[in-house]
Structure 1
Amino acid sequence: MSNLVLENVDLYYNRVHALRGLSLEVNEGEIVSLLGNNGAGKTSTLSMLSGLERPRNGRVTWGDKDLTKLQPWDMVEAGLLHIPEGRRIFSTMTVHENLLIGGYLVKDQKLIAERAAHAYELMPRLAERRDQQGGTLSGGEQQMLALGRALVGGPKLLLLDEPSMGLAPLIVKQVMEIIREVNKQGTTVLLVEQNAKAALKIADRAYVLESGRVTLQGPAAELAEDPRVIEAYLGA
């Protein structure tokens, strides 16, 4: 089983202690959500997992891989893909070109084409915009494009940072449904979200972070009913 396990992880930005003895687990096949306010350590967790930052202490494993010893491109090749906050699509490239570049480490061109076709099937809006430049898409379409680009890379574990940010409620619902479908098709998902209601609706389990520590954890359905979560993140 390729479970993701963090054990007592400390991460610093110079003197700022961003993650403080963080321990959590994402089991293969799950959607796990990280909730918390700005500065809680959610994005820092994803940056550390994808190799953009290195922990000072602790252990991070994904199956038999020690992630603290891998370079970011090694992680991508192994199937760990990170969609950062803000989508980061290539604005002057077409939708199709953006999708194809997601497979830059995939040597089988036929497989890249098949995965791009699957992305179009999953998100027909992208097929309609195939020849448009990425920068001309709406925010929701850009998020779909970022998801599609990751799918062409063949993710086994997908790290998603604030996919609902700046999107209208109807589009948020569509994006979350796509994430759930991607998960059903075999991809494990670690989802960072400030939209706790949307995240808890699709997640199996969730962790609440405060100041780089886990303060609450459990099945998503239970946390959605927890008075502390309701007051802090769902509205009284």
Structure 2
Amino acid sequence: MSSLNLENVELYYNRVHALRDLSIEVREGEIVSLLGNNGAGKTSTLSLISGLVRAKSGTITWGGKNLAKLQPWDIVGAGLIHIPEGRRIFSTLSVHENLLLGGYLVRDQKLIAERAAHAYELMPRLAERREQQGGTLSGGEQQMLALGRALVGGPQLLLLDEPSMGLAPLIVKQVMDIIRAVNSEGTTVLLVEQNARAALKIADRAYVLESGRVTMAGPAAELAADPRVIEAYLGA
């Protein structure tokens, strides 16, 4: 069974102590959400897992494999695919070209085509925009495109950074429904999200980060009912 484990991780940006004794676990088949305000360490956690930054100490393993010793492209090859905040699609390429680029490490062209077709099934809006330039899509459509591109890579673990940012509530629900559908097909998800209400609705478990530390953890339903979480993140 492949699970992601961060144990006693310390991360610094020069003199800034970004993550402090951070320990989290994401078990196979789960949706786990990281909650917290700006600067809490959520994006840093995803960057660390993806190999974009390196910890000063602590361990990061995926299915027993030490991720700290791998290059970012090797981490992608191991099945961990990161959709960064802001989507980062290729704005001058078509929707279909963006999708195909998600399979740059996949050698089987037939498999790439099958995965792209499945992305279109999951997100019919993309099929309607197949030949349209990515930069002309709405924010919600660009988020769907980023999800579709990741799916073509065949993720075992999907790392999502603020997928609801800047989206209207109806589109947020659609994006969260897609994430839940992807998870139901066997992809594990680690979701960073400021929209705590939306995140807790689809997550199995969650962690709350403050100043680089885990301050609360547990089943999503329990955290959603916790007065401290309600006051800090959910409102009345």
TM range (shorter): over 0.9
Matches for 1:132-151 after TM superposition, within 5 Å: 132-151=132-151
Runs of at least 4 residues of structure 1 off by over 6 A?
none
Q: Over residues 147-185 of structure 1, what are the superposed CA-to-partner deviations in whole Å (9 max), with x where a residue is unaligned? A: 000000000000000000000000000000000000000
Q: Over residues 107-130 of structure 1, what are the superposed CA-to-partner deviations in whole Å (9 max), with x where a residue is unaligned? A: 000000000000000000000000
For 1:199, the equivalent position in structure 2 comes to 199
For 1:33, the equivalent position in structure 2 comes to 33
Quote the Cα distance in structure 1 between the aligned partners of 2:65 and 2:4: 9
Quote the Cα distance in structure 1 between the aligned partners of 2:130 and 2:6: 39
For 1:111, the equivalent position in structure 2 comes to 111
| Amino acid of the structure 2 residue aligned with 1:179 | I
For 2:214, the equivalent position in structure 1 comes to 214
Quote the Cα distance in structure 2 between the aligned partners of 1:82 and 1:95: 19
For 1:21, the equivalent position in structure 2 comes to 21
For 1:129, the equivalent position in structure 2 comes to 129
Secondary structure (helix, strand or coil) at the match of 1:88 reads coil
Specify every segment of 5 or more residues in structure 2 that has no aligned partner in the other structure, as ranges. Answer: none
Q: Over residues 178-212 of structure 1, what are the superposed CA-to-partner deviations in whole Å (9 max), with x where a residue is unaligned? A: 00000000000000000000000000000000000
Secondary structure (helix, strand or coil) at the match of 1:186 reads coil
Matches for 1:1-236 after TM superposition, within 5 Å: 1-236=1-236
- Superposition TM-score, scaled by structure 1 size: 1.00
Specify every segment of 5 or more residues in structure 1 that has no aligned partner in the other structure, as ranges. Answer: none
Quote the Cα distance in structure 2 between the aligned partners of 1:153 and 1:79: 8
1:64, CA displacement in angstroms? Answer: 1.9
| Amino acid of the structure 1 residue aligned with 2:176 | M
Quote the Cα distance in structure 2 between the aligned partners of 1:65 and 1:126: 35
Q: How many residues align?
A: 236
| Amino acid of the structure 1 residue aligned with 2:26 | V
Quote the Cα distance in structure 1 between the aligned partners of 2:203 and 2:232: 18
RMSD: 0.4
Q: Over residues 36-77 of structure 1, what are the superposed CA-to-partner deviations in whole Å (9 max), with x where a residue is unaligned? A: 000000000000000000000001101121010010000111
Q: Over residues 79-105 of structure 1, what are the superposed CA-to-partner deviations in whole Å (9 max), with x where a residue is unaligned? A: 100000000000000000000000000
Quote the Cα distance in structure 2 between the aligned partners of 1:232 and 1:226: 10
